[in-house]
C-alpha cells in the first residue's frame, strides 16, 4: 500500500514538473560564452543559418561570417559601404545584404562569400526579408519611407511600395503577407506579397517607436519591441493588440522560438535580454537575462535555441560633453564581441 502511495506521489510530482518545465527551462538562460570577433566600426542586424552553423553579422562596411560551432570568424563579404541586414535564399547558394551606404541590395555567394551583383534600392535600405511565396527580396528604405521588392532569380526590381512612414524591421508570414514596423508613426503595416498593396496599417499603442519585429506565423502573432519599454503582441490577422509585456531599454531586435513558444527582446540600453512566454495568456515575462550594454541586436538558432547578441567596448564621452548631453559613443577598435546565451 505504501509503495502504491509513493508511486502516486511520484507521478503527481512528475506531473507538476512536466507542467512547469517550459518555465523552468526558460528561466535557466544565461550568457554561456563570449567570442571576440574584432574589427572596427558599428554593427546592425544578425542572421542565423542554423543548418550550416553560420552566423552572419552586418558589421560596418562588411558582413562577418562566424562558425557557431567554433566561435571563429570564417570569412566576410567585403567591399560594401554601410551594411544593415542579411537574409538567405532557400536555394542554399545565395544571400542578400541591405547596404544602406550604397542604396542597394547586394547579392552574394554563400560558399565563396563573393559579391555576385547589386540591385538598386531606395534611400538607406535597412531591414530586409525574403518572401517565400513569391521568391522575392524586400528591402525597407528608412530615408525614403518605401520598400524595394526584387525578384530573387532575375535580380530585378519588381515594385517600389510607398509606406506611411519610416520603416524599421520587417517579417514575412510565409502565407503571402509581409509586415513592417513604422517607427515614426508607431504602427505596423501589412502588405500583400503578390499585389504589393498596403492592406492595412495598425496602431501599436501603447507601444511607441518600434524597432525589432518577430512573428509566430503558425499562431498569427506579431511581437514588436518598442522604445518606451513595451513588447506589443498583436494578432496579425486583424491588428488587435493582445498584450504589452514590459521589456528593457533600447531594444532593437525581436525573435520568436517556435519550439519553446518564447519571444525575445534584446535591449542594448540596459544590457538585458527579455524572455516572454508566448504560450501563456497575458504573455508574462519569464526571465530577464543580464547581457551587456550595447547588445541591442540578436539572432536565434532555431535548432539549439541559443541566442547570439553583438556588442563591443565603448570609449569615454568626448572632451567637453555636458552631463545629459547626447553624443555618439566611440567603439574601441578590436573589441567587437558576440555573446552566446543558452540554457
Yes or no: domain 30-49+212-317+325-343 corresponds to CATH 2.130.10.10: yes
Q: What tens digit of pLDDT does each residue of 225-262 get?
A: 999 999 999 999 999 999 999 999 999 999 999 999 99
| DSSP designation for 121 | -
pLDDT at 284: 98
* Cα(258)–Cα(181) distance, integer angstroms: 21
pLDDT recorded at residue 16: 43
Q: Tell me phi and psi for residue 161, to 5 degrees.
A: -105, 125
Cβ(289)–Cβ(246) below 8 Å: no
Cα–Cα distance measured from residue 63 to residue 85, given in angstroms and rounded to the nearest whole number: 9
pLDDT at site 7: 46
Mean pLDDT of 125-129: 98
Choose between 334 and 270: higher pLDDT: 270
What pLDDT does residue 322 have? 54
pLDDT of residue 331: 85
Of 333 and 49, the structure prediction assigns the larger pLDDT to 49
* Residue 235: other Cβ atoms inside 10 A: 14
Candidates 85, 78, 98, 80; CA nearest to 43 is 85
* pLDDT given for residue 10 in this prediction: 46
Beta strand pairing status for 307-311 and 337-342? Answer: antiparallel
- Residue 208, pLDDT above cutoff 50: yes
Q: CATH number of the domain at 79-203, out of 3.40.710.10, 2.130.10.10, 3.40.50.9100, 3.40.50.12280?
A: 2.130.10.10
pLDDT category at 27 given cuts 50, 70, 90 is low
pLDDT exceeds cutoff 80 at 328:
no
For residue 17, pLDDT beyond 60: no
pLDDT at 286 over 50: yes
Average pLDDT over residues 269-273: 97
Name the 3-class secondary structure at 245. coil
Task: Please compute the mean of the pLDDT values over residues 209-228 and round it to a whole number.
Answer: 98
Please report which confidence band the pLDDT of residue 330 belongs to, taking 50, 70 and 90 as the band edges.
confident
pLDDT tier, 217 (very low <50, low <70, confident <90, very high otherwise): very high
* pLDDT at position 15 over 80: no
pLDDT at 191: 98
User: What is the per-residue pLDDT for 315?
Assistant: 76
Percent of the chain with pLDDT over 70: 88
What is the mean predicted confidence (pLDDT) over 25-34? Answer: 84
pLDDT of residue 333: 86
Q: DSSP letters along 59-126, please?
A: ETTEEEEEETTTTEEEEEE-S-SSEEEEEE-TTSSEEEEEETTTTEEEEEETTT--EEEEEE-SSSEE
How much is the pLDDT for 323?
A: 52
How would residue 9 be classed by pLDDT, with cut points 50, 70 and 90? low
pLDDT at residue 81 above 50?
yes
- Predicted pLDDT at 4: 45
Residues of the chain with CATH 2.130.10.10: 30-49+212-317+325-343, 79-203
0.85 cut: is pTM over it?
Answer: yes
Residue 141 parent element (H or E): strand 136-141
- What average pLDDT score do residues 279-305 get? 97
pLDDT of residue 314: 84
The yes-or-no verdict on residue 126 having pLDDT over 90 is: yes
User: How many CA atoms does the CB half-sphere of 222 hold within 13 Å?
Assistant: 34
Amino acid at each position: 500500500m505504501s509503495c502504491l502511495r509513493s508511486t502516486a506521489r511520484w507521478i503527481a510530482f512528475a506531473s507538476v514538473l512536466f507542467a512547469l518545465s517550459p518555465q523552468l527551462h526558460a528561466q535557466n538562460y544565461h550568457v554561456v560564452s563570449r567570442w571576440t570577433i574584432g574589427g572596427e566600426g558599428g554593427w546592425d542586424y544578425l542572421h542565423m543559418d542554423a543548418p550550416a552553423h553560420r552566423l552572419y553579422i552586418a558589421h560596418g562596411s562588411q558582413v562577418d561570417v562566424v562558425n557557431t560551432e567554433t566561435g571563429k570568424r570564417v570569412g566576410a563579404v567585403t567591399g560594401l559601404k554601410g551594411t544593415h541586414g542579411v537574409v538567405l535564399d532557400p536555394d542554399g547558394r545565395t544571400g542578400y545584404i541591405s547596404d544602406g551606404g550604397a542604396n542597394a541590395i547586394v547579392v552574394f555567394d554563400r560558399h565563396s562569400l563573393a559579391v555576385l551583383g547589386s540591385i538598386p534600392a531606395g534611400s538607406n535600405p535597412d531591414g530586409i526579408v525574403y518572401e517565400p511565396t513569391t521568391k522575392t527580396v524586400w528591402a525597407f528604405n528608412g530615408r525614403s519611407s518605401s520598400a524595394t521588392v526584387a525578384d530573387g532569380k532575375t535580380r530585378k526590381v519588381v515594385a517600389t511600395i510607398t509606406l506611411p512612414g519610416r520603416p524599421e524591421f520587417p517579417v514575412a508570414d510565409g502565407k503571402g503577407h509581409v509586415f513592417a514596423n513604422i517607427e515614426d508613426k508607431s504602427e505596423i503595416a501589412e502588405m500583400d506579397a503578390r499585389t504589393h498593396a498596403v492592406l492595412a496599417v495598425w496602431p501599436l499603442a501603447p507601444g511607441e517607436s518600434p524597432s525589432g519585429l518577430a512573428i509566430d506565423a503558425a499562431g498569427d502573432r506579431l511581437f514588436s519591441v518598442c522604445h518606451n519599454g513595451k513588447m506589443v503582441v498583436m494578432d496579425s490577422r486583424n491588428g488587435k493588440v493582445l498584450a504589452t509585456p514590459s521589456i528593457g531599454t533600447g531594444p532593437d531586435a525581436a525573435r520568436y522560438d517556435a519550439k519553446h513558444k518564447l519571444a525575445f527582446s534584446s535591449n542594448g540600453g540596459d544590457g538585458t535580454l527579455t524572455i516572454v512566454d508566448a504560450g501563456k495568456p497575458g504573455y508574462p515575462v519569464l526571465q530577464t537575462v543580464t547581457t551587456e550594454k550595447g547588445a541591442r541586436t540578436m539572432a536565434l538558432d532555431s535548432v539549439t535555441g541559443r541566442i547570439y547578441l553583438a556588442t563591443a567596448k565603448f570609449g569615454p564621452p568626448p572632451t567637453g560633453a555636458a552631463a545629459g548631453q547626447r553624443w555618439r559613443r566611440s567603439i574601441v577598435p578590436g573589441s567587437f564581441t558576440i555573446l552566446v546565451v543558452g540554457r
